[in-house]
Amino acid sequence: MFDWLKKRRGAPAIPDGLWQGVLARYPFIAARSPDELARLRDLASRFLAGKEFHGANGLEITDAVALSIAAQAVLPVLNLGLHWYDDFVGIVVHPDEVVARRTLTDEDGVVHHYDEVLAGEAMEGGPVMLNWRDVDTAGETADAGYNVVIHEFIHKIDMRDGQPDGCPPLPSREMRQAWLAAMQSEYTGFREKAIIAERFGGEPPWLDPYGASAIDEFFAVACEAYFVNRERFGRDFAPLLSLFDGFFGAPTVSGEAAS
């Protein structure tokens, strides 16, 4: 793996064939402007140079697998900088979703054991876990606003200032309060719609209803859609589109003039 990466010191340019394969598989990346694509390509190369990939359950980490993850992972930090991911090195990739055994102690001290199906997981100060099936099909699931890589790496951004709470690190208390107020308003509306759909047969929300489980999950789910299906996201969550543009930097797409 990464024979091309080992030939030079630092972060060499990604081979054209590998990069073109990524653009063909993920139209939401290919739609970016030439300037942004050049910066994404460079950032993905530097990401690969600084991370360690591990295949689980027999999955082989090929150059294409690693680059597919890297290209999606760096989308949120294109304008923020790669240092936002400097709290971890390892990325573990499973072939498919993982069943994790969980233990929970309730307020009465009773211990409960249960299984949880995971598409991915981000650990504070630790590695990121992904499943290759969802990574590989991210171009097909973009219409639904779904992207497991972006979801887990948004959690990493959220956790940089402690436990995930739906708000990334911001320069001031006032900015944080404004962010959380906007997020809470949209989260409340989304959660109500998800509950009505589940309990009373109402119209299901466009985004993954898992986002209704907690505000930090809503943040991650919303960011998935923001990065892979901006047009639909802007129609459904206009206040968040403006909020996210202010933090991540509004993208330019092919044919647009850079602003």
Q: How far is CA 13 from CA 16, 18, 24, in A?
A: 9, 11, 18
pLDDT at 123: 87
In this prediction, the residues of the chain whose per-residue pLDDT falls under 70 are 1-12, 99-117, 254-259
CA atoms of 198 and 188, how far apart (whole Å): 15
pTM (predicted TM-score): 0.89
| pLDDT for residue 125 | 85
Cα separation values, 111 from 35, 118, 228, Å? 54, 21, 40
Q: What is the 3-state secondary structure (H, E, C) of the chain?
A: CCHHHHCCCCCCCCCHHHHHHHHHHCHHHHCECHHHHHHHHHHHHHHHHHCEEEECCCCCCCHHHHHHHHHHHCCCCCCCCHHHHCCCCEEEEECCCEEEEEEEECCCCCEEEEEEEECEEECCCCCEEEEHHHHHCHHHHHHHCCCHHHHHHHHHHHHHHCCCCCCCCCCCHHHHHHHHHHHHHHHHHHHHHHHHHHHHCCCCCCCCHHHHCCHHHHHHHHHHHHHHCHHHHHHHCHHHHHHHHHHHCCCCECCCCCC
Sort strands 52-55 and 90-94 into parallel, antiparallel or unpaired: parallel
Please report the pLDDT score of residue 104 as a whole number.
57
Domain ranges, ordered by start, for the chain? 3-248
Q: By the 8 A CB rule, do 227 and 28 touch?
A: yes
Q: Which fold has domain 3-248?
A: Cyclin A; domain 1 (1.10.472)
Two tokens at 88? 């971890």
